[in-house]
Chain A
Amino acid sequence: MNEKNHYNVMNIPRDANQDMIKRSYQRLAKKYHPDSNPFIKTLDQFFIVQEAYRVLSDSNERNMYDVSSNVNAIEYPQLKLNKHTSWNVLKMSNDPQIIDVLLEMDPGEVSGKVSTKRFNLALLVDTSTSMAGSRLDAVKRILGGLLESLDKNDVISLVVFNDRARILIPAKRVYEVGDISTAISGLEAGGGTEMFAGLSAGIDEILKNKVDEYLHQVILLTDGHTYGDEEKCIELAYLAANNDIGITTLGMGSEWDEHFLDKIASYSGDTSQYISDGEALHTFIESKLKRMSNHEVENVTLENLGSKATNLIFAMQLSPLVKMLDIKNMDNLGHLSSGDTLRVLLEYEVHPIKKPVDSVLLDTLILNAEIPSCDIRARSFVEEIQVPNVDEKSMPTLNRYVYQYVEKAVLFRMEERANLDIKKGNIANGTKTLQNIAKKIGEMGVSQLSEFIQSEALQLGVKGKYTEEAEKKIRYGTRELCLLPGKLETP
């Protein structure tokens, strides 16, 4: 079947109903119309979407299309989705109660099936004064390494920025790059960090080769704060993600703002990464490229429709990335490479159950994903989460499998709170929370991180502050801990 079939153009599964088709059309029309998307210059793609919509929205035409292109006969593997709740039943009660839901999805039947795409990369390097010395040297080495590990037909560009952006290597195929030493020799640290200029120059280089056959990715490496253009950067990152350009943000040293870098990466379903030195950078980029060329499932999105009986109070992704999810707009959960499991934790407050009922609807979830190796890529699940209700005499049973993941999420939240307290100057609370985190991590058996946090908590108690380096180490250490699979196996 043609890769550009109407279902793929509309990004819908083959059993999509009219409502889904319509919603998808509205979204895509916006995405591909030059009036509403500054990255789009022509109406070509818009017309393709329009034609697909015309066919699929008319049931006669759709039937004819399905028969002629054999839609129902193609291989159509499914993904595996599991949901677990922290309690097996809900209690009758005049008070609200809390229940956690763990959602897990793995590639199931498509595991091992990947579709390889060429890379269209823009490497964006901050060369402000703070990047001077060994860090810049590390960057030089990385470039060389990067060029070696890419295929000769991949596209790469190199943009450096401080107060303004300079394009050292304009977008070209790897085999055309030639000797990089001349280009890189001009790499010298100086000036301040103005990220917007760099980001837009990098995206411009990507746009030169903006065709579907490529995987578009900006890799941004910085070590400092950008001043005054955060909002503009965030807007641009959002726009880029909507145009299928991913942004990976890497922070070196300690003076960068992880919330800002996380935000920029989040639109394309990524998080920021803490890079300690040249070697860590090398390892990270290599594994990142490998993961990217190894996607079994892409663009996983989650939407919750809510329920009258509950409020969603907390949502967090635990794998393959660790990040808090916005409960109003969870959206992009990224991609799954070989061996990955998607793991999302949702916490609900259930309103008082005063009258006996058979079961309570916690939420209705819509999970969308794409399987790049399939002729029709899109998959969509609608999942209702129901929990039975019992009378006051029976006791709910705890699900230990869910418990262990809630514990990880608790650590992450405690770390966020400690950080916030310390930044606000509430040292006593911050110290106490850090000590509790250290104790919990110790109980989980990770003694080194636990000891490190313990000693930082002590420092904090004495000096009233801790170094930014320690802050990053604690933060990203805790994140990594969240990523570890639980000790208990699936029930």
Chain B
Amino acid sequence: MAICTKCSNKEPDGTLFCTKCGETMVLSEQTKVEEANLTPSIDTIDSSVIQGLSKSMRMEGEINVAIAAKINNRDVVIRIQKNEYTLGRAALGQAVIPDFDLTPYDGLEKGVSRIHALIMTTEKEMFIRDLTSINGTQINGIRLSPNMDYPIKTGDLISFGRLSMEIKTINRL
């Protein structure tokens, strides 16, 4: 007989998860943390897991940035309040939806992937990372290697597939 550390529910020996609260019956807190840091394979449907990957790299302190941009010739202000901000196409029923949805800017027609890229904000700089999107991400015409961070600044022209985004200003609020 085994007893759940969280809800004291009794389970037969060999049970891996408490049937009442879902807590693990066999792994310690320590191993759970190690587990979370394992490198997942990225070529899965939408890689949600990415967010867990860089959890440990996250910076302290609040983030509040506004990017004024022109996406597909329309003016947009993107408000970023988290360290990692994803862009892509949202659809209901998708396990993970991006923070910024490019569908209204013809994202589908222009070849934007569901989870296409990520904007990472640190205390001093901003970076963009292509999340192994199908049609790739470019800065000023140069295609980025997937899963690598590239600095971005005012005046850059970024393309997600064939969808262009011109950065007008970046303001920290």
Q: Say yes or no: A444 contacts B96, CB within 8 Å.
A: no
Q: Say yes or no: B48 contacts A407, CB within 8 Å.
A: no
Query: How long is the Cα–Cα vector from A100 to B14 in the complex, in angstroms?
Result: 9
Q: Indicate which residue in B12, B24, B53, B92 contacts A274 across the interface (CB closer than 8 Å).
A: B92
Known: A443-B36, A445-B53, A484-B45. A98 touches B91 (CB 8 A): no
Q: Indicate which residue in B1, B38, B93 contacts A476 across the interface (CB closer than 8 Å).
A: B93
A371 part of interface (Cβ distance < 8 Å): no
Q: Say yes or no: B92 contacts A280, CB within 8 Å.
A: yes
B155 CB to closest chain A CB (Å) equals 31
B59 part of interface (Cβ distance < 8 Å): no
Enumerate chain A residues within 8 angstroms of B78, measured Cβ to Cβ: none
A276 part of interface (Cβ distance < 8 Å): yes
Q: Which residue of B lies closest to A96 (CB)?
A: B12
Binds A, one of B15-23, B63-71, B120-128, B131-139: B15-23
Query: How long is the Cα–Cα vector from A350 to B53 in the complex, in angstroms?
Result: 38
Q: Say yes or no: A98 contacts B95, CB within 8 Å.
A: no
B172 part of interface (Cβ distance < 8 Å): no
A414 part of interface (Cβ distance < 8 Å): yes
Known: A403-B26, A476-B93, A485-B41. A97 touches B52 (CB 8 A): no
Q: Annotate B108-152 by CB proximity to A: 1 below 8 A, 0 otherwise.
A: 100000000000000000000000000000000000000000000
Q: Indicate which residue in A86, A95, A433, A448 contacts B48 across the interface (CB closer than 8 Å).
A: A448
Q: Which residue of B lies closest to A432 (CB)?
A: B21
B77 part of interface (Cβ distance < 8 Å): no
Query: How long is the Cα–Cα vector from A433 to B22 in the complex, in angstroms?
Result: 9
In A271-293, the 8 Å CB interface with B consists of 274-277, 279-280, 283
A422 part of interface (Cβ distance < 8 Å): no
B171 part of interface (Cβ distance < 8 Å): no
Enumerate chain A residues within 8 angstroms of B91, measured Cβ to Cβ: 276-277, 279-280, 283
A481 part of interface (Cβ distance < 8 Å): yes
Known: A277-B91, A480-B45. A436 touches B36 (CB 8 A): no
A140 part of interface (Cβ distance < 8 Å): no
Q: Which residue of A lies closest to B48 (CB)?
A: A446
Q: Say yes or no: B49 contacts A95, CB within 8 Å.
A: no
Enumerate chain A residues within 8 angstroms of B15, measured Cβ to Cβ: 98
Query: How long is the Cα–Cα vector from A140 to B94 in the complex, in angstroms?
Result: 23
Q: Say yes or no: B13 contacts A91, CB within 8 Å.
A: yes
A87 part of interface (Cβ distance < 8 Å): yes
Q: Annotate A237-276 by CB proximity to B: 1 below 8 A, 0 otherwise.
A: 0000000000000000000000000000000000000111
Query: How long is the Cα–Cα vector from A485 to B97 in the complex, in angstroms?
Result: 19
Q: Which residue of B lies closest to A476 (CB)?
A: B93
B153 part of interface (Cβ distance < 8 Å): no
Q: Which residue of B lies closest to A274 (CB)?
A: B93
Q: Say yes or no: B38 contacts A487, CB within 8 Å.
A: yes
B9 part of interface (Cβ distance < 8 Å): no
Enumerate chain A residues within 8 angstroms of B12, measured Cβ to Cβ: 95-98, 349
Q: Say yes or no: B93 contacts A446, CB within 8 Å.
A: no
Q: Which residue of B lies closest to A99 (CB)?
A: B14
Enumerate chain A residues within 8 angstroms of B27, measured Cβ to Cβ: 398, 403
Q: Say yes or no: A445 contacts B38, CB within 8 Å.
A: no
Enumerate chain A residues within 8 angstroms of B154, measured Cβ to Cβ: none
Enumerate chain B residues within 8 angstroms of A444, measured Cβ to Cβ: 36, 49, 52
A144 part of interface (Cβ distance < 8 Å): no
Q: Say yes or no: B95 contacts A487, CB within 8 Å.
A: no
Q: Which residues of A contact B (CB under 8 A)?
A: 86-87, 90-91, 93, 95-100, 274-277, 279-280, 283, 349-350, 396, 398, 403, 406-407, 410-411, 413-414, 432-433, 436-437, 440, 443-449, 472-473, 476-477, 480-481, 483-485, 487-488
User: A98-B13, A276-B93, A480-B94 provided; 19 other pairs, C-beta below 8 A?
Assistant: A95-B12, A97-B12, A97-B14, A99-B14, A275-B93, A276-B91, A276-B92, A277-B92, A279-B91, A406-B17, A407-B24, A432-B21, A436-B21, A445-B48, A446-B49, A446-B51, A448-B96, A477-B93, A485-B44
**Which 6 pairs between the two chains have the least Cβ-Cβ distance?**
A445-B52, A276-B92, A98-B14, A97-B14, A480-B95, A97-B13
